[in-house]
């Protein structure tokens, strides 16, 4: 199992990615929050040699497929094949009111978006005429003056993020991998997410080679610490995150699978009242254990393997604030030693 790291959502220095490389992480992921992740990753590429660099996630619908295809192609060139394009849809309010872009049928639109980018990359690689016409996007003009030509490193991987089954199926149909949202449980991953990925691959008629190469990337919540007080503080912080996501109706299916619909409704009501303290108190130990990996540092790698070793190809575990790099290094080393308990393709091959 590969171990990844999330860079800060601010303006990280290139040294942050360099430290992640020295630490032994496989991929450093940059979110799109307050700053453009592509600028930060370009700087990171200049200070690293081995570690892969990716967006987790960039907002696809805030840009046209041509804009994002160009950004990704440039970073793939600049990083010498180490760039991974992680994308997501965001939600309607942000796309229409913050970015002033159109919104409709997000799953269908995302499928077409990824196909459009692949058509653009193919046209650059082969010099064939660009001729993509869909229901949402049309790209039919590419003159030599604007054609960057073949990328010697090939196109970047496209990793799609999602929660609902429709977007998950789209990942199985057209993406190279899938980001499992942090607000998920082992049961939801096995009973809902993986079958949806398999269904997407089946509908698209993708070959076994695609399934074997497909990646499932997870970032489960973590509760750990060097003593009981540190564990308790970490648990409280994770309860707050679970309560926040649980109050959002879009994430309700995860709670519903466990029979926690009443909890979801309660969290939504409390959030509208601004009663954040009570929301946190509503997250019982059973709910915490379902959503988070709860273990002291020396037991954490074994618990991760037991729960996710046969379903995730890589895992992002957030280093707790109570542990410094020297204390976290043995945990990371043990995680890197975890051997997958099933070939990656068996995760999504039905």
pLDDT score at 341: 46
pLDDT score at 237: 96
Write down the residue that tokens 């393997």 correspond to.
305
Beta-carbon contacts of residue 140 (< 8 Å; ≥ 6 apart) = 130, 131, 132, 133
pLDDT score at 10: 66
CA distance 213 to 209: 6
Contact between residue 310 and residue 347 where contact means Cβ atoms under 8 Å apart: yes
DSSP-assigned beta bridge partners for residue 314 = 2, 217
Per the structure, the complete domain to which residue 169 belongs is given by 2-227+293-347
Structural domain contains residue 234: no
Contact between residue 6 and residue 31 where contact means Cβ atoms under 8 Å apart: yes
pLDDT score at 9: 58
- The residue count for the chain: 350
Structural domain contains residue 249: no
Structural domain contains residue 255: no
Paired tokens of 186: 């082992």
Cβ count within 10 A of residue 176: 18
Taking the CA of residue 60 as centre, how many other CA atoms within 13 Å lie in the half-sphere pointing to its CB?
25
Question: Residue 155 carries which DSSP code?
Answer: P
* 18 exposure class (CB count in 10 Å sphere: 0-12, 13-18, 19+): middle
pLDDT score at 139: 99
Beta-carbon contacts of residue 176 (< 8 Å; ≥ 6 apart) = 157, 158, 159, 213, 214, 215
pLDDT score at 123: 99
User: For residue 54, which phi and psi values (nearest 5 degrees)?
Assistant: -150, 165
pLDDT score at 308: 94
pLDDT score at 13: 74
**Closest residue by Cα to residue 295 from 267, 320, 276:** 320
Write down the residue that tokens 């994002």 correspond to.
68
Structural domain contains residue 241: no
SS3 state at 117? helix
pLDDT score at 340: 47
**Closest residue by Cα to residue 29 from 163, 253, 214, 215:** 215
Angle between helices 106-126 and 165-174 in degrees, nearest 10: 20
Structural domain contains residue 267: no
CA distance 104 to 208: 32
CATH code of 139's domain: 3.20.20.30
DSSP alpha helix (H) spans, 54-180: 65-78, 92-93, 106-126, 165-174
Structural domain contains residue 244: no
pLDDT score at 349: 61
Please tell me the total count of domains within the chain: 1
CA distance 77 to 58: 18
Contact between residue 82 and residue 51 where contact means Cβ atoms under 8 Å apart: yes
SS3 state at 181? coil
Paired tokens of 37: 């992740």
Task: Find out whether the peptide bond into 329 is cis, omega within 30 degrees of 0.
Answer: no
Structural domain contains residue 264: no
User: For residue 181, which phi and psi values (nearest 5 degrees)?
Assistant: -65, 150
CA distance 293 to 182: 11
Q: What is the pLDDT along the chain (350 residues), one digit of tens a residue?
A: 899 999 875 676 788 999 999 999 999 999 999 999 999 999 999 999 999 999 999 999 999 999 999 999 999 999 999 999 999 999 899 999 999 999 999 999 999 999 999 999 999 999 999 999 999 999 999 999 999 999 999 999 999 999 899 999 999 999 999 999 999 999 999 999 999 999 999 999 998 888 889 999 999 999 999 999 999 999 999 999 999 999 998 899 999 999 999 999 999 999 999 999 999 999 999 999 999 999 999 999 999 999 999 999 999 988 898 999 999 999 988 888 765 444 444 667 65
pLDDT score at 342: 43
Structural domain contains residue 48: yes
């Amino acid at each position: 199992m590969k171990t990844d790291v999330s860079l800060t959502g601010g303006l990280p220095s290139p040294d942050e990615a360099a430290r992640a490389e020295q630490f032994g992480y496989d991929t450093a992921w940059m979110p799109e929050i307050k700053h453009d992740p592509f600028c930060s990753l370009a700087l990171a590429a200049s200070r690293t040699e081995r570690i892969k660099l990716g967006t987790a996630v960039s907002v696809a619908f805030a840009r046209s497929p041509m804009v994002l295809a160009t950004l990704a192609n440039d970073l793939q060139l600049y990083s010498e094949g180490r760039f991974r394009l992680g994308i997501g849809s965001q939600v309607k309010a942000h796309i229409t009111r913050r970015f002033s872009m159109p919104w409709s049928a997000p799953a269908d639109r995302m499928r077409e978006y990824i196909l459009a980018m692949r058509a653009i990359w193919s046209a650059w690689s082969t010099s064939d005429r660009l001729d993509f016409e869909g229901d949402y996007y049309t790209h039919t003009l590419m003159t030599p003056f604007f054609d960057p030509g073949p990328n010697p490193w090939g196109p970047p991987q496209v990793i799609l993020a999602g929660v609902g089954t429709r977007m998950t199926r789209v990942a199985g149909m057209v993406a190279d991998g899938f980001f499992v949202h942090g607000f998920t449980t082992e049961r939801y991953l096995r009973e809902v997410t993986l079958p949806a990925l398999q269904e997407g691959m089946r509908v698209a008629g993708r070959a076994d080679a695609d399934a074997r190469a497909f990646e499932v990337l997870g970032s489960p919540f973590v509760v750990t610490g060097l003593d009981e007080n540190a564990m308790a503080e970490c648990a409280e912080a994770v309860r707050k995150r679970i309560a926040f996501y649980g109050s959002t109706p879009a994430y309700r299916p995860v709670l519903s699978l466990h029979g926690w619909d009443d909890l979801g409704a309660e969290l939504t009501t409390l959030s509208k009242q601004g009663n954040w303290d009570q929301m946190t108190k509503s997250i019982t130990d059973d709910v915490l254990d379902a959503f988070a990996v709860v273990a002291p540092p020396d037991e954490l790698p074994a618990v991760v393997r037991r729960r996710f070793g046969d379903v995730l190809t890589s895992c992002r575990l957030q280093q707790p604030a109570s542990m410094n790099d020297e204390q976290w290094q043995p945990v990371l080393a043990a995680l890197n030693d975890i051997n997958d308990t099933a070939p990656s393709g068996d995760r999504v091959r039905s």
